[in-house]
Amino acid sequence: MQQRNTGSIAARLAPALVVSLLAATGASAATLSVGPGKQYAAPCAAFNAARDGDTIEISGNNIYKGDVCGISRNNLTIRGVNGRPMIDANGANAMGKAIWVVGGNNITIENVEMYGARVPDQNGAALRLEGTGFTLRQSFLHDNENGILSGANTASDILIEYSEFGHNGFGDGYSHNLYIGNVRSLTFRYSYSHDANVGHNLKSRAQVNTIYNNRFSSTAPGQTSSTAAGSPSYEVDLPNAGTSYVIGNVIEQPAANSNPNILAYGEEGASNPGKDLYVVNNTFLNDAGSGTFVMIGSGVSTPALIQNNVFAGAGSVTSQGNATLRTNHSAAAPAFVNRATYDLHPAAGSPMINAASAPGTAPTGFVLAPIAQYQHVASGEARINVNDIGAYASNGAAATPPATTGWTQCANEGGTCTFSGTREVRYGSGTTFVSRTVSGSVACSNAVFGDPTPNVAKTCSYAATAWTQCANEGGTCSFSGTHEVRYGSGTTFVSRTVTGSVACSNAVFGDPTPNVAKTCSYAADSSTAPAAETWNTCAGEGALCTFSGTRDVRYGAGSSFVTRTFTGSVLCSNAVFGDPALGVVKSCSVSSLTK
């Protein structure tokens, strides 16, 4: 196999020409193929041949045994294609540390499975992170002494999403599913970390932790994949405090455990700059007979915000005496749809429904209300509303997007909306509504619709147009012009205004009726379409979109967007909008039209 080498040639060239050559090289990234019959037989050979900025594609459904090495190049994208490749340490290790030691900066790894890391120091990792900037997505790391182990680097930001971690840990309590060192930030989202062997399902010393829409749990004795003999410790451990957002997670402690505390914060010394903890809209499950749901070290004096959480089972809510506790729900057996199958949506009539309070924003501007929710396995979906306590919204009606013309107001809150025939009726105010399909009349009240805008006067309106079914779930709804499209089943729908076509899927609309087949229909009268408008990109994912006045802002990628109305600015993130394009980098655009 011929490897690229321009070093000896460049040494003989004039300095100006060397600069030109290197610039041209950097501008022309290559894709290196790995697998049987490909350019490289195994990943490490491709890593060694790669230049900065290259992409390495590893053929899936193959096992690469003992392929261990360091990764020194920068800005690489390493991804499994045509299935998920399996990287088996098979008794080998790189540098006495890991299967892959990531020394390069800004490395992205996607769609790989890694297992079997063992080293003499008993902390062998699937991935040892030693560079600056790292992203992992859609991967499965299991049965290693550490899933991920990172060193301290306060210039580094780590993003982990749509990934699974299981059965990692040597068994001594010092190794974990994930062990993140003192980096600048960790974002951990839409992932599943479970069954750590004595260690923690997530341990992070990051200065800023953003942990949302994940599941942390472990199987009970006798169940498939049980590691009860290993007795996992903390589900989430943030030992040095730091500004930390823990939002929309399912966090379960098994009956067999090595520590009765579930979420730990600052217990090893609050050495990070931030001491502010936000625990919002999580569902905690304690299968043990005692414990503390949120254990906060004595060195943390800043009151934690603990709001809109479900605490199921025995135990105290928190060890911090001055914590701010708002609208949480504690019960031995909360009214879930089906606790045994992890359907943790509030059941009909549950006191968790419409009982949440608005958490607002952190001083940093971070929006604390959940807009998405965890979907098993290691995924996410748009959250229907933020009015219910816990990690999941109830199986109720879905909030609709901003108002369009073509609606006739029929009642104020507390009145009765009457009309002829069967029509869609929406209830709410401003840009937030819940809709149902009703015949004849309906009470315009929270009891019927839920409360889409707490503490705000609401109205009912009915749709003046008929609906034409255009696609089943999973298909594409196509039409000419701009129409309002609704997605759902029975009497429960989510609607958006779309031009030309739209995928009829949960990824686009959220899931208004979980576990029920849905359809898309469009409003036959296109007079409901908004005035012509243009969209101007205002921010990349994670940045702040700013603009004048009140405008629609859309967030997504390709043809999949979520649109909401804001005044002045908004953080361009899944936390605000939900995730309309899973696993894809997104951006925000602002409408040319003011409200």
Q: How far apart are CA 133 and CA 186, in angstroms?
A: 10
pLDDT band at 409 (very low <50, low <70, confident <90, very high): confident
- Residue 260 per-residue DSSP state: S
Predicted confidence at residue 503, as pLDDT, reads 86
- Per-residue pLDDT, averaged over 112-133, amounts to 97
pLDDT, tens only, 17-51: 333 333 334 446 899 999 999 999 999 999 999 99
| pLDDT band with cut points at 50, 70 and 90 for residue 136 | very high
Query: CA torsion angle for 437, 440, 442, 444 (degrees, to 10)?
Result: 90
Q: Which of 285-294, 299-308, 494-503, 584-593 has the lowest mean pLDDT?
A: 494-503
Q: What is the pLDDT of residues 309-362, one digit of tens each?
A: 999 999 999 999 999 999 999 999 999 999 989 999 999 999 999 999 999 999
Q: Is the CB of residue 474 less than 8 Å from the CB of residue 448?
A: no
- For residue 20, CA distances in Å to 15, 16, 25, 49, 515 come to 9, 6, 9, 21, 58
pLDDT at 579: 75
Which range among 103-117, 140-154, 292-306, 402-416 shows the weakest confidence by mean pLDDT? 402-416
Q: What share of the chain in percent tops pLDDT 70?
A: 85
Give me the amino acid identity at 346. Answer: P
**pTM for this predicted structure:** 0.66
Burial 549-579 (b: 16+ CB within 10 A, else e): eebbbbbbeeebbbbbbbeeebbbbbbbbbb
Q: Which pLDDT band, with edges at 50, 70 and 90, does 186 fall under?
A: very high
pLDDT, mean of residues 470-491: 80
Higher pLDDT, 464 or 204: 204
- Tokens 């509030």 sit on residue: 346
Which conformational region is residue 528 in: left (phi greater than 0), alpha (psi within -120 to 50 degrees), or beta? alpha
Domain ranges across the chain? 1-128+144-150, 156-395, 399-463, 467-528, 535-594
